[in-house]
Structure 1
Amino acid sequence: MRQEEKKTIQAAAVGALLFLLIQIFHTSLNRLDNWDIISSLYLIVGCCNVAFGFAIFAQGWLFFSSRLSKGRLYAAALFGGICIIDFLHTLGFVGVPLISSFITFEESLWLRTLSRLISGLGMLFIFSREDKPVSVSEKRKLFRIAFMLIVLSIVLFIFSHSALPQLLTKPWMNPLKQIADLAVLFVYLAGVAVIVFPEKSEKSASLLIIIRALIFFSLGQAFFMSPFSSGNIDDLFGMVCSGVAYYLLLTGVYRLTIEEPFYEKQLAEERINYLAYHDDLTGLPNRRRLTQRVEEMIIAGEKKTSDKFSALAIMNINHFKNINDSLGHFAGDHLLKLVSERLVNEAKSTEELYSMGADEFAFLMMERASLGECLVRATELHRLFEVPIALESGEYHISLSMGLSIYPGDGETAEHLIQNADTAVHNAKEQGVEIRRYIPAMQMKAKERLKLENDLRRALERNEFFLVYQPKVLLETEEIVGMEALLRWNHPKRGLVSPAEFIPLAEESGLIVPIGEWVLKTACLQNKKWQLAGYVPICVSINLSMRQFLQPNLAGRIHTILTDIGLDPCYVDLEITESMTLDKETAFDQLKRLKELGVFISIDDFGTGYSSLHYLKNMPIDRLKIDRSFVSEVMEDSNNAAIVSTITSMAHHLKLKVTAEGVENKEQLQFLREQHCHEAQGFLFSKPIQPAEFEAIFLKKAPLGASL
């Protein structure tokens, strides 16, 4: 239980106990009922109440006018009027000369009841509603209403004053007064209930203070209407309780309408500031904070004369996109958290970890004795991930690519050090190595890469792409039964660009989707042209990228292309990789839609990815393509031979066809025949060649009368 909640319960308990004790010792206390003393104390307490009421009015109406809210404004107007009524009541109650001639003792009691009834109803109205900011114009509007009510009250009092003494002597006035006092007590208790029992279970400290104020108002009202009262001592105790209530209300309204909004704004600003310098997912300081920290490190290093080194290592999770796409973003986010936790737990006192966004982290190592020590530490960090990471769907081995920039030497500013480390990590990924330290030549390569990406964006519209075709041979007869369409790029200045260089760029930039669709259209159109020219129809194999495969409308796009071209789907074989099937449900749904078109489905580069017998058994696929890395060394490496033999045997049992890639000599061909492999492709039969050359060498005219 919070401290403020305890105070509220204690206030209620103390108030009830005080009232009970006073009622028990009421007879003894009545002996102290000296009017001169009571009236003097009553006047002092009454003036304090008026002062507290005016303070509530002042803080809501006169001060902090730039932070107006309905709660503040209405409370100010309410207690601005009440403090006037309380002042008149106090002066009339104690019989101050001049005032007592206008306000009798009985009338002052009615004024007190009126004051308490108005305050209770007003507080019930104010604190039962959500507090909202208001404009200065609403303040002026409320001022005009309050002024008119005061004038109206004065006019009514003047016209009715002569009749009030006779009215107050009526026998039914005393029961009416008791009913009115009871109504006041009920209203105060209703105010407590309204604040305590709304949907929000947790109350702010200010609302708890206001509850305490209402409790003391209720206690004071209980004294005013005490059935045991035979003097004025109860009125004095009631006035003291009201004074405590006024003070609490002053504090509560201030905290509710000024202090708490200020702290809320302060907390919001702190949160914004935190998010500006931290990663929301991992909680690590971000790139902006890293830049500041490296700048501080450089400034501190310039002041020292030591020959110590500092290193900035930027780490990138390899193949993170495949994991994210296949297992889902929730699993990807969880993986990032686990990676960051593993690195944070490893960090020493002179090391700091930062999030660079997405799947990149920065590890700052300071006060190193040598360059070799920096590289040794980087190797230790890399070895942390030899242990697999456990996700809900299983354990996964991940690896990091790491780029290092060293200070001093690899940059004189924070931005240069970060940029150079980033360049080094991308170079490490390109070269397929674990750790690379920045060298100036990398910057030139990065610029070339950027320029190549820009050229790639224009290559499609400039018709710089073309397709070559490699035949697929039926091993039993060495007859041509299909062909694979392969993409090539003829750069206007660089000439032929290797697919290994531009395909990853297209994948990263998202250009692979329009390029892949162009390949699909072009290959299908070429196949249809050859069929219309009278050649024996064969199947064309087309590779799909991960981005293409994940498109929800892929089947619809392919159906449209085949319909427009007029090519039968049975002459199209779509090749996907094993990594595309990690998310089994998504892959199964996509493959099912593709198979409904009538196309064939092959798993390309089988054995090099996340192999799973589950998708082989259940997914609608037709063919496995054994990766060239196994076939090329099948005669030299017994392990590769065993892998090829196992894949072929498994495919036969699952009633899948098997195609071997990368066949380069007769020995490999003979081995594959012995394993009952169905088809093969490779340089032994032909390298990928232009359409005209493929047509001349491999295509045969269909017999006369044959139809498509």
Structure 2
Amino acid sequence: MNLSSSEIGSAPQLDGAELQDLAWRDHLTGLPNRAKFNEQFEAACALAAQTADPAGALILFDLNKFKEVNDSLGHETGDLLLQGVAHRLRTELADCDLFARFGGDEFAVLITGENAAGRADVVAEKIFDLLTQPFEIENYRLVISVSVGIALCPRDATDARGLKTHADEAMYAAKAQGGGIVRDCPATGLSLTTKAQLLSELPSAAVTESLLVHYQPKLDLRTSRITGVEALVRWDHPELGMLQPKDFIQLAEVCGVLDQLTRTVTERSLLDVSAFDSRPDLSVTINLSNRLIQDRDFSAWVARLLAETGFTPQLLRFELNERHLTHSPDRTQKVLQELHDLGIGIGVDNFGIGCASLDFVYQLPIDELSMQTEFVSAIDNGDETLAKALIDLGHTLGVKVSAKGVESAETLETLRSLGCDSAQGFCISPPLPIEGLAQYLLG
């Protein structure tokens, strides 16, 4: 192509500000791009580091199976979908400090200032609700799902790199469970090399003896008697030693073995607990993942396991995190009802984070609520309000209320006086291997 000097001279001239805006703008969606977000985000973190009480939140989210949209319907349709996402959220997120496209199908939101954590929760729910509504793209009606991860300053990190790492891990944990929102993905402290090693080893570890089950005793606060245990998985790694769930559970979600891991824990727990001839009334609680609760065969598998082991169904309880109740609610309700019909107890863990509506919770066959640990921590700081409100709510709904993470005898007595039904925590007993549990129960 040949241009004359007159044509060059007549081309529109951009000033410095316009050139800067072009450099910081995503041309497809019109949103700020990654470079702009990074500059403002790092500046906000630097400013927060100079304050006595920094507060902020980073939200990362992406569209699930976006590649399939591009592959099956073409990149033009994919581009129109990205523009639709930006258009749908731009006005709704106007109160946030910054909403940007990171590239591909990944977006970021920055929130700073007062009550950043609470505002981030609201924004994340808004993103999830708005993007799971159908998009009309050309002649297609597209229904997508979204994975949202949240990192909070100072809870998760105070520097830009730490917050990004945490939000990224939370987003991928959400993606591993089929979409949704992950608010409290714990940092493992493991290097990326170590995580890669664990990812390669998890599929075989999920069905071997290197996975152990420890049991944390549960105290009935009315009778002061141990009435049950919670099954908690450990990984006895040959090189890294005893790994806690926070080190590998989210990796198990990523590589698709969490379902098998949970089945292994369930099998071993029923065999272990049923061996206590002196405590035939001892119950066991097992945590369920969101993905497993969506497995159409799960209830039938549990029924077969109960028949094979002879375990009393009324002594088994499955516990589901509150945030997972809102994912595929119809399917969740159906599976929980099937488990309940077998005689199995159903509990909701981390209750009180506000993900599920009370109307929906009331429709579920739940017999126990476990309050989120922040409510227990508030008691340690002299605030009983939240714990009392949840206990009263649970009893109004006709279900028992339990507390986890109880670290002191004073907190235990406060919970007892508030009417809490049961508790577990290090002030009662840490999680124990099966041999240690046997000795503990005898003592």
Relative to the length of structure 1, the TM-score reads 0.41
Separation in structure 2 between the aligned mates of residue 312 and residue 459 of structure 1, nearest angstrom? 39
Partner of 1:632: 377
Q: CA deviation at 1:499?
A: 1.2
Partner of 1:391: 130
Contact kept, 8 Å, 1:470 with 1:484, in 2: the verdict is: yes
- Are residues 320 and 588 of structure 1, via their aligned partners in 2, closer, same or farther at CA, if it must alter by over 3 Å? farther
Partner of 2:361: 616
* Secondary structure at 1:621 match in 2: coil
- Are residues 594 and 450 of structure 1, via their aligned partners in 2, closer, same or farther at CA, if it must alter by over 3 Å? same
1:447-458 correspondence to structure 2 within 5 Å? 447-458=193-204
Partner of 1:561: 305
Partner of 2:436: 693
Partner of 1:544: 288
How many residues align? The count is 330
Q: CA deviation at 1:494?
A: 0.7
- Are residues 461 and 379 of structure 1, via their aligned partners in 2, closer, same or farther at CA, if it must alter by over 3 Å? closer
Separation in structure 2 between the aligned mates of residue 623 and residue 514 of structure 1, nearest angstrom? 25
Separation in structure 1 between the aligned mates of residue 202 and residue 253 of structure 2, nearest angstrom? 11
After the TM superposition, which parts of structure 1 deviate over 3 Å for at least 4 consecutive aligned residues?
Answer: 309-321, 334-339, 342-347, 351-355, 378-394, 397-402, 421-432
- Are residues 453 and 393 of structure 1, via their aligned partners in 2, closer, same or farther at CA, if it must alter by over 3 Å? closer
* Secondary structure at 1:646 match in 2: helix
Correspondence 1:506 to 2:249: no
Q: CA deviation at 1:695?
A: 0.6
Contact kept, 8 Å, 1:467 with 1:488, in 2: the verdict is: yes
1:220-235 correspondence to structure 2 within 5 Å? none
Q: CA deviation at 1:587?
A: 1.7
Partner of 1:606: 351
* Secondary structure at 1:634 match in 2: helix
Contact kept, 8 Å, 1:284 with 1:355, in 2: the verdict is: no
* Secondary structure at 1:525 match in 2: helix
Instruction: Select 2:237's aligned residue among 491, 500, 503.
Output: 491
Structure with larger RCO (C-alpha < 8 A, sep 6+):
2
Gapped runs of 5+ residues in structure 1?
Answer: 1-282, 286-292, 295-308, 322-333, 364-377, 403-420, 433-443, 701-708
Quick one: which amino acid aligns to residue 348 of structure 2?
I
Contact kept, 8 Å, 1:473 with 1:680, in 2: the verdict is: yes
Q: CA deviation at 1:343?
A: 7.4
- Are residues 401 and 568 of structure 1, via their aligned partners in 2, closer, same or farther at CA, if it must alter by over 3 Å? closer
Separation in structure 1 between the aligned mates of residue 89 and residue 61 of structure 2, nearest angstrom? 16
Q: Deviations over 1:518-570 (max 9, x none)?
A: 00101011112223xx4332111111111111111110011111111111111
Partner of 1:468: 214
Q: CA deviation at 1:337?
A: 6.4
Contact kept, 8 Å, 1:312 with 1:362, in 2: the verdict is: no
Instruction: Select 1:681's aligned residue among 424, 436, 441.
Output: 424
| Two-structure CA RMSD over aligned residues (Å) | 4.1
Partner of 2:401: 658
Partner of 2:336: 591
Contact kept, 8 Å, 2:320 with 2:348, in 1: the verdict is: yes
Partner of 2:317: 573
Quick one: which amino acid aligns to residue 459 of structure 1?
A
Contact kept, 8 Å, 1:535 with 1:699, in 2: the verdict is: no
Q: CA deviation at 1:615?
A: 2.5
Separation in structure 2 between the aligned mates of residue 339 and residue 510 of structure 1, nearest angstrom? 28
Separation in structure 1 between the aligned mates of residue 402 and residue 416 of structure 2, nearest angstrom? 11
- Are residues 336 and 490 of structure 1, via their aligned partners in 2, closer, same or farther at CA, if it must alter by over 3 Å? farther
The structure carrying a bigger strand percent of its residues is 2
* Secondary structure at 2:270 match in 1: helix
Q: CA deviation at 1:341?
A: 2.8
Partner of 2:51: none
* Secondary structure at 1:576 match in 2: strand
Q: CA deviation at 1:336?
A: 7.0
Separation in structure 1 between the aligned mates of residue 103 and residue 380 of structure 2, nearest angstrom? 47
Q: Deviations over 1:268-299 (max 9, x none)?
A: xxxxxxxxxxxxxxx959xxxxxxx99xxxxx
Separation in structure 1 between the aligned mates of residue 420 and residue 331 of structure 2, nearest angstrom? 30
Tell which structure's C-alpha radius of gyration is larger: 1
Contact kept, 8 Å, 1:335 with 1:391, in 2: the verdict is: no
Q: Deviations over 1:213-260 (max 9, x none)?
A: xxxxxxxxxxxxxxxxxxxxxxxxxxxxxxxxxxxxxxxxxxxxxxxx
Separation in structure 1 between the aligned mates of residue 405 and residue 161 of structure 2, nearest angstrom? 36
Q: CA deviation at 1:400?
A: 5.9
Contact kept, 8 Å, 1:344 with 1:353, in 2: the verdict is: no
Contact kept, 8 Å, 2:207 with 2:260, in 1: the verdict is: no
- Are residues 561 and 608 of structure 1, via their aligned partners in 2, closer, same or farther at CA, if it must alter by over 3 Å? same
Separation in structure 2 between the aligned mates of residue 352 and residue 633 of structure 1, nearest angstrom? 36
Correspondence 1:429 to 2:173: no
- Are residues 483 and 335 of structure 1, via their aligned partners in 2, closer, same or farther at CA, if it must alter by over 3 Å? farther
Separation in structure 2 between the aligned mates of residue 672 and residue 381 of structure 1, nearest angstrom? 35
- Are residues 336 and 637 of structure 1, via their aligned partners in 2, closer, same or farther at CA, if it must alter by over 3 Å? farther
* Secondary structure at 2:378 match in 1: coil
- Are residues 529 and 461 of structure 1, via their aligned partners in 2, closer, same or farther at CA, if it must alter by over 3 Å? same
- Are residues 616 and 464 of structure 1, via their aligned partners in 2, closer, same or farther at CA, if it must alter by over 3 Å? same
- Are residues 343 and 477 of structure 1, via their aligned partners in 2, closer, same or farther at CA, if it must alter by over 3 Å? closer
- Are residues 318 and 463 of structure 1, via their aligned partners in 2, closer, same or farther at CA, if it must alter by over 3 Å? farther
Separation in structure 2 between the aligned mates of residue 621 and residue 427 of structure 1, nearest angstrom? 32
Separation in structure 2 between the aligned mates of residue 627 and residue 423 of structure 1, nearest angstrom? 25
Partner of 1:11: none
- Are residues 400 and 484 of structure 1, via their aligned partners in 2, closer, same or farther at CA, if it must alter by over 3 Å? closer
Q: CA deviation at 1:311?
A: 7.9
Q: Deviations over 1:479-517 (max 9, x none)?
A: 111111100011110111221121111122221011010
Contact kept, 8 Å, 2:215 with 2:433, in 1: the verdict is: yes
Separation in structure 1 between the aligned mates of residue 81 and residue 390 of structure 2, nearest angstrom? 32
Contact kept, 8 Å, 1:608 with 1:627, in 2: the verdict is: yes
- Are residues 550 and 335 of structure 1, via their aligned partners in 2, closer, same or farther at CA, if it must alter by over 3 Å? farther
Quick one: which amino acid aligns to residue 664 of structure 1?
E
Quick one: which amino acid aligns to residue 687 of structure 1?
P
Percent identity, aligned pairs only, is: 27
The structure carrying a bigger helix percent of its residues is 1
Q: CA deviation at 1:460?
A: 2.5
Partner of 2:264: 518
- Are residues 337 and 637 of structure 1, via their aligned partners in 2, closer, same or farther at CA, if it must alter by over 3 Å? farther
Separation in structure 2 between the aligned mates of residue 572 and residue 699 of structure 1, nearest angstrom? 22
Q: Deviations over 1:70-114 (max 9, x none)?
A: xxxxxxxxxxxxxxxxxxxxxxxxxxxxxxxxxxxxxxxxxxxxx
Contact kept, 8 Å, 1:601 with 1:623, in 2: the verdict is: yes
Separation in structure 2 between the aligned mates of residue 497 and residue 423 of structure 1, nearest angstrom? 22
Partner of 2:224: 478
* Secondary structure at 1:677 match in 2: coil
- Are residues 340 and 594 of structure 1, via their aligned partners in 2, closer, same or farther at CA, if it must alter by over 3 Å? same
Correspondence 1:530 to 2:276: yes
Gapped runs of 5+ residues in structure 2?
Answer: 1-26, 42-57, 65-79, 134-145, 152-159, 172-189
Quick one: which amino acid aligns to residue 391 of structure 1?
L
Contact kept, 8 Å, 1:316 with 1:361, in 2: the verdict is: no
Q: CA deviation at 1:605?
A: 1.2
Q: CA deviation at 1:660?
A: 1.1
- Are residues 543 and 337 of structure 1, via their aligned partners in 2, closer, same or farther at CA, if it must alter by over 3 Å? farther
